[in-house]
Amino acid sequence: MNNPAITKIDFKALKYIADGGAILGSGGGGDPYVGRLMAQQAWGSNNTVAVIDIDELPDDALILPIAMMGAPTVMLEKFSSGEEIPKLISMMERFLGKKVAAILCIEAGGLNSTIPFIAAAQMQLPIVDGDAMGRAFPELQMVTFTLGGIQATPMAMMDEKGNGATFDTISNSWAEKLARALTIEMGGAAMVSLYPVTAAQCRNYLIRGSLTKAHRIGQIMAEHGANACAALVEEFDGTHLFQGRVRDVNRVSEGGFARGTVKLEGLGDFINREITLSFQNEFLIAREGDNVLATTPDLITLLDIFSGDAVTTELVKYGLPVNVLGLPCDPIWQSPQALEIVGPRYFKLDYDYKPI
């Protein structure tokens, strides 16, 4: 990627990041429209947020990720009260006995690329250009930090009613298990802060430049509209996996996740073909019969044929014509150790990971 790094984000630039984040969200990470509305509500029009490189921070600077956790189907309807983030940050600062120096985006996504900017604006803090997934994943232990042995806890959680909780767990999988149970009880989605890291810890495991990348993707979408898919394939070494119309959607909310499958029947060059996508918040696999087109951790994203916008798993519906874009994941996810936590077999899909 040879685009210049972004350094300042205003509300217009945030729209690019939300739209681009939704592409990187691989079907999850929340809806960019919701992300934008939340930002508008919390942010007003006068704010800008400074985006910084991790190397600008001293080793001991405390960096705090902020995100919304829960099923995207719920996030779509459950708005933040605007008070969760300042409360979360003060809970974490109190717990850690240290002031926060910068905000971090834990995953890419239409909503979860936007929320850290709301936090940064509210708290007048800079935001680090990067994230810990390079995409969205459904479970909280699925971050590069876990590969580095960094703890998810102390972790704090707030709902829009004003209920808060903190966690201190023996593993990141236990943090996922406990936080997921509470998310369900809080109504299916909650605001969280987790993986408090120092800049030194962060340097080795951050997926750098992902905000610049999301921003660039958003720009391309604005420029190319319906042709965004082809433009993104070209600029980001992607693959145009399929073009088709949604024939079936099976969607259930279980265990705090949105799970299901989507069947597409081919259009254009793909006529008379049919593929099936499975998802748990995010798309996990695209198959044509037993032939795997792409699997997690690579990115699988649907784009509306007419608008070029990302179609998240909670918004896929019968009849919608879409392009299926495959993008390579960050190389950090391709090691056997990484595939154990984010590869298809973790999700009980009986296929090997085959990079696109």
Q: Which residues bind a second copy (CB under 8 A)?
A: 91, 161-170, 174, 177-178, 181-182, 184-186
Which residue, 12 or 94, is less far from a second copy as judged by CB? Answer: 94
Q: How far is the CB of 148 from a second copy (least distance, A)?
A: 21
Q: How far, CA to CA in Å, does 271 sit from each of 68, 133, 245, 265, 305?
A: 38, 34, 10, 7, 15
Orientation of helix 210-224 relative to helix 228-235, angle to 10° = 140
| Of residues 82 and 266, the one with the C-beta less far from a second copy | 82
Q: Give the residue with the Cβ less far from a second copy, 167 or 346.
A: 167
Please report how close the Cβ of residue 198 comes to a second copy at its closest, in angstroms: 21
Instruction: Return the number of the residue (161 or 247) whose C-beta is nearest a second copy.
Output: 161
Residue 77 to residue 280: CA distance in whole angstroms: 18
- Length of the chain, in residues: 356
The residue among 174 and 351 lying less far from a second copy, judged by its C-beta, is 174
**Smallest separation, CB 298 to a second copy (Å):** 31
DSSP string of 251-304? EEEETTEEEEEEEEEE-GGGTT-EEEEEEESEEEEEEETTEEEEETTSEEEEEE
At closest approach, how far in Å is the CB of 91 from a second copy?
8
| Least distance in angstroms from the C-beta of 73 to a second copy | 20
- Between 90 and 227, name the residue whose CB sits nearer to a second copy: 90
Eight-state DSSP code of residue 135: S
CA distances in angstroms from 132 to 37, 76, 234, 270, 304, listed in the order given: 24, 23, 25, 35, 27
Name the minimum Å distance from CB 87 to a second copy.
9
Alpha-carbon distance of 347 to 1, in angstroms, equals 31
Is residue 145 packed enough to be buried (19+ CB in 10 Å), middle (13-18) or exposed (0-12)?
A: buried
